[in-house]
Amino acid sequence: MTHKIGILFLVILLLQILPGYLPVLGKWLGRKFRRKTRFARKLLDSTEKPGGPLAQFEKLIGKQALEICLAETPAVKEASGAGTVEEIGRKLAACSHRNYIPFRFIVVNDPGEPNACAIPGGSILVTEAFLDLHPGQDELAGILAHEVAHIDCCHSLKAIGSTVALQKIIGTNQLILSRATGLIETLLKRGYSQENEFEADREGAQLAKRAGFDPRGLRHALEMLENNCRRERYSFFSTHPPTHERINELRKHFG
C-alpha cells in the first residue's frame, strides 16, 4: 500500500510541476503506460497537430458540454442579431490561431444575463440579454474575440489538464470523458483564472484587429456592461476579474 501511495504521489507531482518528465515516467512505469503518458503530456502542454488524439478529445468533451449548456439555455436561431453574431464570428474564426477548428456562434435564451462563454471544440455562446444592450459591431466583435481567444489559448484544456492527465494514466476512457465533461461544466460556471481572463482580453483584442475591427471594442463593451449592469449581481462579474482592472489593462495596450 505504501508503495502504491508513493507512486501515485510521484505521478501527481510530475503532472503538476514537472510535465517534461512524463516520457521518463512512462518508461519507468512500463510499456503499456508510454502511450498514455504521451497523451497526458500533450494534454498538459495543449499542443498537438489538428485532427490528432487531443483534438478529438477536445471535440468530444466540447460536444457533451454544449449539450448540457443548451439544455439549460436553449439556442434561439431567430433571435434579433443572431445573423450579425454569425457574420462577425466567421470573420474572427478565420483569423484565429486555431482556425482549423469548426467554430460555432450561438445565441442562447437567457434574457436576464448579459454574458458569453467559450466551450472546448469551438462553440461560442452569447446571450440574448447581451444583444439587448445593442452593442456596436466592434463591441460585439470584442466580446466574441475574447471567447475565441480562450479556445485559441487552450485555457479549458490547460485548466483540467493535471486531473484528466492523471486519470488517463490510471483510469478508463469512459471515466476520463465523464470526468472531463464535469470539470468543463464547473469551469464554465466558476470562470477561468484571472491570468487566463487577462490573456484572453489581450489576445481577443489582437484577434479583433486582425479581423478588421477596432481593438478597443472589447474595452468599450466592458464599459457598456459595467454601466448597464453595475446595480445587478450578474455572474459575468462574479466569474471575471474586476472590470475596471480589465478596462485599464486594455486601455494600456490598445488605447
Write the pLDDT tens digit of every residue in 113-168: 888 999 989 999 999 999 999 999 999 999 999 999 999 998 887 777 655 655 55
Question: 32 and 150 share a domain?
Answer: no
Q: What is the predicted pLDDT for the residue at 17?
A: 46
Q: Is the dihedral of CA 215, 221, 227, 230 positive or negative?
A: negative
Question: 39 and 147 share a domain?
Answer: no
The total number of structural domains in the chain stands at 2
DSSP reduced 3-state for 89: helix
Question: 100 and 170 share a domain?
Answer: yes
Question: 115 and 155 share a domain?
Answer: yes
3-state secondary structure 38-74: HHHHHHHHCCCCCCCHHHHHHHHHHHHHHHHHHHHCC
Between vectors from CA 165 to CA 160 and to CA 170, what angle results, nearest 5°?
A: 135
Question: 25 and 127 share a domain?
Answer: no
Question: 161 and 90 share a domain?
Answer: yes
- Closest C-alpha among 243, 135, 140 to residue 198: 243
Q: What is the predicted pLDDT for the residue at 124?
A: 96
Q: Which domain holds residue 12?
A: 1-45
Sheet holding 104-108: strands in order across? Answer: 104-108, 123-127, 116-119
Q: What is the predicted pLDDT for the residue at 239?
A: 52
Question: 82 and 163 share a domain?
Answer: yes
Regions in the chain scoring below 50 on pLDDT: 1-15, 17-18, 21-22, 28-30, 32, 233, 236-237
CA of residue 184 relative to chain centroid, distance? 9
Question: 32 and 61 share a domain?
Answer: no
Question: 68 and 7 share a domain?
Answer: no
